[in-house]
């Protein structure tokens, strides 16, 4: 279906997009996830045809669209600020794309009614768009994009201007509409929760490059870089140094927070700087030790028992339904099913992963 190949784009000498390539398959929803300035919106505008790339190729079903003007691409676009036509009512807004395609009046009204029904706005056709609430306006914008049945839908932070509960409701509706219509979609957002809810595949952008791509679960389990782990808020990212050779498939890594043994396929050298991820949920609850961790955890000669242990003075315990979030004074945190006391010294065994 959609193919994006080696897109480069610079603005005033500053690279915005750096060799971007990816595909969107039939019925697939791909999410471009990144902080502001990562280039995700520029990429979307290039795919829509609103901007031209410096080099690279956009094609759909094998047909080159790189220089096709936007109105001939048949890609629907939904903006964050809705961009509804203020001089047209709801009906005429939704009918706009159909009118441009020279569809008969009967078919237009049929499509408008079914599109409005799909976004739960039946009966709104005669309303002025300026009288609608933000959520209703975004539904109209969605119906407007859906009505001509485009071959690709694009969303540019569509829920960014809405409040939280409304955002969740609309997101779920959008997800079911996308499944129902089976239209492939590209969804741009900076909100990882939104991305993981809606996407079949997530592309994480940083400084104009795709640094991680994959299904939500895959990206979640293997972030593969400190940036992604921090951006997604996966847990404690600890900086350390490899101290020795691999033993039994494990590397020993020394850090300010203790010594860790980590199993990975990377080829490290002694002295390499690495990032480790200690997920707060991996804390081994049943083995948490209330004993005073008096021994120093640094240097050689540390016993097996004190490896992969996070320890410190508890500074805060937060109840989170089925678990407690335990924050240490050194900034690390874990989730435990039993609540320790504040100011208590605590050592918790965790699993660590190597992020490179």
Interface residues with another protein (CB under 8 A) are 48-50, 69-77, 79, 81, 83-87, 96-97, 100-101, 128, 130, 141, 144-145, 148, 154
CB-nearer residue toward another protein: 74 or 284: 74
The size of the chain, in residues, is 356
The nearest distance, CB 287 to another protein, in angstroms, is 48
Strands 201-206, 29-33: pairing is: parallel
Residue 289 is classified by DSSP as E
The nearest distance, CB 210 to another protein, in angstroms, is 24
The nearest distance, CB 20 to another protein, in angstroms, is 20
The nearest distance, CB 155 to another protein, in angstroms, is 12
Contacts of 60 (CB under 8 A, 6+ apart): 1, 2, 3, 73, 151, 152
CB-nearer residue toward another protein: 71 or 295: 71
The nearest distance, CB 26 to another protein, in angstroms, is 21
Alpha-carbon radius of gyration of the chain: 25
Helix (H) or strand (E) holding 251: strand 250-255
The nearest distance, CB 57 to another protein, in angstroms, is 20
CB-nearer residue toward another protein: 133 or 221: 133
Helix (H) or strand (E) holding 32: strand 29-33
CB-nearer residue toward another protein: 97 or 280: 97
What are the tokens at 55?
């080099």
What are the tokens at 108?
């237009």
What are the tokens at 197?
């809810």
| CB 184 within 8 Å of CB 25 | yes
The nearest distance, CB 233 to another protein, in angstroms, is 29
| CB 134 within 8 Å of CB 161 | yes
Q: Hey, is 341 helix, strand or coil?
A: coil
CB-nearer residue toward another protein: 97 or 240: 97
CB-nearer residue toward another protein: 17 or 44: 44
The nearest distance, CB 111 to another protein, in angstroms, is 13
| Beta pairing partners, 278 | 236, 352
How many CA atoms are closer than 13 Å to the CA of 42, on its beta-carbon side?
Answer: 24
| CB 312 within 8 Å of CB 326 | no
Q: Under the phi-then-psi rule, with left for phi > 0, alpha for psi from -120 to 50, and beta for the rest, what region is 56? A: left
CB-nearer residue toward another protein: 154 or 346: 154
CB-nearer residue toward another protein: 6 or 128: 128
């Amino acid at each position: 279906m959609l193919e994006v190949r080696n897109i480069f784009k610079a603005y005033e000498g500053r690279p915005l997009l750096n060799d971007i390539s990816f595909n969107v398959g039939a019925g697939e929803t791909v999410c471009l996830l990144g902080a502001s300035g990562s280039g995700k919106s520029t990429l979307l505008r290039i795919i829509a045809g609103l901007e031209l790339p410096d080099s690279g190729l956009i094609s759909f079903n094998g047909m080159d669209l790189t220089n096709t003007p936007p109105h001939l691409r048949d890609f629907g676009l939904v903006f964050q600020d809705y961009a509804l036509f203020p001089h047209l009512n709801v009906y005429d807004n939704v009918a706009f794309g159909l009118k441009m395609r020279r569809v008969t009046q009967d078919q237009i009204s049929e499509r408008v009614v079914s599109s409005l029904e799909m976004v739960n706005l039946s009966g709104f056709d005669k309303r002025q768009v300026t009288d609608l609430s933000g959520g209703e306006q975004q539904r109209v914008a969605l119906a407007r994009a859906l009505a001509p049945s485009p071959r690709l839908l694009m969303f540019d932070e569509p829920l960014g201007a809405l409040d939280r509960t409304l955002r969740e409701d609309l997101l779920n509706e959008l997800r079911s509409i996308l499944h129902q219509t089976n239209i492939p979609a590209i969804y741009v957002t900076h909100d990882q929760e939104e991305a993981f809810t809606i996407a079949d595949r997530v592309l994480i952008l940083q400084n104009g490059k795709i640094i991680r791509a994959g299904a939500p679960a895959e990206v979640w389990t293997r972030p593969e870089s400190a940036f992604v782990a921090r951006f997604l808020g996966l847990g404690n990212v600890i900086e350390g140094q490899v101290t020795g050779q691999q033993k039994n498939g494990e590397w020993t890594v020394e850090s300010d927070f203790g010594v860790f043994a980590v199993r990975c396929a990377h080829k490290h050298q002694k002295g390499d700087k690495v990032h480790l991820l200690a997920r707060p949920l991996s804390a081994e609850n049943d083995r948490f030790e209330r004993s005073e961790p008096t021994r120093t955890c640094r240097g050689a000669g540390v016993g097996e028992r004190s490896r992969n242990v996070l320890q410190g003075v508890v500074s805060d315990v937060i109840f989170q339904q089925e678990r407690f979030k335990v924050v240490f004074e050194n900034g690390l945190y874990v989730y435990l099913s039993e609540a320790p006391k504040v100011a208590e010294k605590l050592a918790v065994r965790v699993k660590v992963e190597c992020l490179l």
